[in-house]
Amino acid sequence: MTGWIEALGHFLGRCAETTGYGLVLLCRTILNLPHLFTRRRMRDCLDLIFSYTLGSFTVTAVVALFTGMILALNGGDSLASLGQENLIGRIVAISMIREMGPFMTALILTASLGSGIAAEIGTMKVSEEIDALEIMSISPVKFLVLPRMIALTLVTPVMTIFAAFIGILGASIVAANNFGVTWIAFSNDALENLQLGDVHIGLIKSVVFGVTIATVGATQGLLTRGGATGVGEAARRAVVITFLLVIILGYYLSWWYLS
C-alpha cells in the first residue's frame, strides 16, 4: 500500500515538474521571439518549414483524402435513408474545417514531427551537445526551440487547410460516385452553410495544436535522460502527452466557440 502511494506521489511530482518545465520553456521561447528576426534564425526557420512541410505532405494528403471519403460514405448512407443525401456537402465541410482537419493534422504532425523534435533534442542532450551550446553561451531555447516552435506553428495551419481541402475533395468524389450528388450541388451546399467562424476556429485550433506539439516535443527532448533508451522514451512520451493535450484542448476550444 505504502509503495503504491509512493509511486503515485512520484508520478504526480514528475507530472508537475514536467508541466512547469514546459510552461517555463514556452514563456522563455515567447520572450526570445525578437531573436527570430536575425538572418541566421530566419534561415533556420525557413529550412525547418520546408522540411516539415515536405516531410508531412504525403501522409497528410492520404489520411485527409480517406477521412473525407469515410465521412461522406457514412454520413451519406444515413442521409440517403432520409432522402437528404444532398446535405453531405455541409456536413463534411463543417466537420473537416472545424474539427477533423485540425485534429487529424495535429495527430499526424505529432507522430511525425513532435516525436522527431523530442528525439532530435533528446539525442543532443545525451550526447552533450546541449551542454556544449551552454558552454559556448548559446541559449538552446533561442538556437533550437524557437525556430522549431515558429516553424511548427506556421506549418500546422497550412497543413490543416490543405487537409481540409483534400478531405472535402475526397468526400465530393464519394458523394458523386455513391450518392449521385454532383460537384456543383456538393460545393454549393458546403459554401452556403459554412461560416467564417468555422474557418476561424479551425485555424485557431491548428495554431494552438502547433504550439502544443512543439512545446511538448522540445520539453521531452530537453528532459531526456539515460542514453538511447531515454531518447526513445522521450519520443514516446511526447506523442502520448501531445495526443492527450490535443484532444482535451480541442474539446475546450470547440466548447468556447459554440458557447
Partner 1 sequence: MIQLENVTKVLSGRAILSELNLSIEEGETLVLLGRSGTGKSVTLRHIVGLMQPDSGRVEVLGQSLTGASMEQLSTIRSQIGYLFQDGALLNWLTIAENVALPLLESHKLPAAEVNNRVSNALREVELDHHGEKLPGEISGGMRKRAGLARALVCDPKIVLHDEPTSGLDPISSSIINRLVNRLKSTGITQVLVTHDMKSAFEVADRIALLHEGRVQALDNVANFRDSNDPAVQQFLEGHISGPLSRGVLDGTPNEDDRNEVS
Instruction: Kindly list the residues in this chain that would bind partner 1 in the complex (CB under 8 A).
Output: 40, 124-132, 134-138, 143, 225-227, 230
Q: How far is CA 237 from CA 18, 116, 204, 210, 230, in A?
A: 11, 12, 25, 17, 10
Collapsing DSSP states into helix, strand and coil, what is residue 132? Answer: helix
Q: How far is the CB of 43 from partner 1 (least distance, A)?
A: 12
Q: How far is the CB of 124 from partner 1 (least distance, A)?
A: 8
Cβ proximity to partner 1, 164 vs 223, nearer residue = 223
> What count of other Cβ atoms lies within 10 Å of the Cβ of residue 77?
13
Cβ proximity to partner 1, 98 vs 125, nearer residue = 125
Cβ proximity to partner 1, 55 vs 230, nearer residue = 230
Q: How far is CA 134 from CA 131, 141, 227, in A?
A: 5, 10, 19
Distance of CA 249 to the CA centre of its chain: 11
Cβ proximity to partner 1, 117 vs 124, nearer residue = 124
Q: How far is the CB of 47 from partner 1 (least distance, A)?
A: 9
Nearest alpha carbon to residue 139 among 19, 23, 21, 25: 25
Whole-number Å distance between alpha carbons of 150 and 220: 18
Cβ proximity to partner 1, 8 vs 138, nearer residue = 138
Q: How far is the CB of 225 from partner 1 (least distance, A)?
A: 4
Eight-class DSSP state of 136: T
Q: How far is the CB of 19 from partner 1 (least distance, A)?
A: 18
Collapsing DSSP states into helix, strand and coil, what is residue 1? Answer: coil
